[in-house]
Amino acid sequence: MQRHRSFPDVLAGAVFVLIGGAFVVGALGYELGTPTRMGPGAFPLLVGAAVVALGLAIVGKGLIAGEVISFGPVPWRAVAVIVLAVLFFGFTIRRLGFVPTTAVTALLTTLASARVRLLTAVAVAAGLTVASTLIFVVGLQLRIPLWGPWLGF
């Protein structure tokens, strides 16, 4: 019998095993309790073990008779830029204030597309900054300072 190895199956299974395993290890550090009074660790331990078991089953199946899925290309530039933009937003919103944070986040995100030209990116970012300031700060009265302490405000 010919075997169908499926890389996506093995990868998905590995992710489940990894995350489930991490939770199992973490859960063992908390009190497990008794069936009558389950401690904080009991439920995560059970579910974590289930995730590991399911993950192993997916890996096993992937090695023998996996699902044929084409994994396709990964837009590395978009992944990197979008993660960076989101982390930047979370980290600086309190420090730089709404307007600069929004502008930089928008500009970074626009650059995730491989086709965008710099001038378009700047225009889109500027437009989005104005729009979101009007919508969220002026319209919805979101209590985030427009300019933050890092800029001396």
Partner 1 sequence: MELLDNLALGFSTALLVQNVLYCFVGVLLGTAVGVLPGIGPTATVAMLLPITFSFEPVTALIMLAGIYYGAQYGGSTTAILINLPGESSAAVTALDGHEMARQGRAGPALAAAAIGSFVAGTVATVALAAAAPPLASVALKFGPADYFSLVLFGLIVSIALARGTALKALAMIALGVLLGTVGQDIYTGTPRFVFEQRELYGGIDFVSVAVGLFGVAEILRNLENEQTRTAIVSKVTNLWPTREDRRRIVAPILRGTGLGAALGVLPGGGHVLASFTSYAVEKRISKRPQEFGRGAIEGVAGPESANNAAAQTSFIPLLTLGLPAHPVMALMIGAFIVHGITPGPNVINDEPALFWGLIASMWIGNVLLLLLNLPLIGLWVRMLRIPYQVLFPMIILFAAIGTYSLNFNAFDVYAIAFFGILGYLLIKCGCEPAPLLLGFVLGPLLEENLRRALIISRGDPSVFLTRPISAALLALALAALVVAVLPTIRQRRAVVFAEEE
Question: Judged by CB under 8 A, which of 57, 118, 130, 134 binds partner 1?
Answer: 57
Q: Does 18 bind partner 1 (CB under 8 A)?
A: no
Q: Does 55 bind partner 1 (CB under 8 A)?
A: yes
Question: Judged by CB under 8 A, which of 5, 28, 90, 150 binds partner 1?
Answer: 90
As measured in angstroms, the least distance from the Cβ of 151 to partner 1 is 18
Site string for partner 1, 21-50 (x = CB under 8 A): --x--xx--xx--xxxxxxxx-xx--xx-x
Dump the DSSP string for the chain. ---B--HHHHHHHHHHHHHHHHHHHHHHTS--B-STTB-TTHHHHHHHHHHHHHHHHHHHHHHHH----------HHHHHHHHHHHHHHHHHHHHH-HHHHHHHHHHHHHTTSTT--HHHHHHHHHHHHHHHIIIIIIIS-----SS-GGGT-
Distance between CA atoms of 107 and 111, rounded to whole angstroms? Answer: 7
Question: Judged by CB under 8 A, which of 16, 99, 100, 148 binds partner 1?
Answer: 16
Q: Does 15 bind partner 1 (CB under 8 A)?
A: yes
Q: Does 113 bind partner 1 (CB under 8 A)?
A: yes
**With respect to partner 1, which residue has the nearer C-beta, 95 or 153?**
95
Q: Does 63 bind partner 1 (CB under 8 A)?
A: no
Question: Judged by CB under 8 A, which of 96, 97, 99, 110 binds partner 1?
Answer: 110
Q: Which residues, at least 6 apart from 138, have a Cβ–Cβ distance to it below 8 Å? A: none
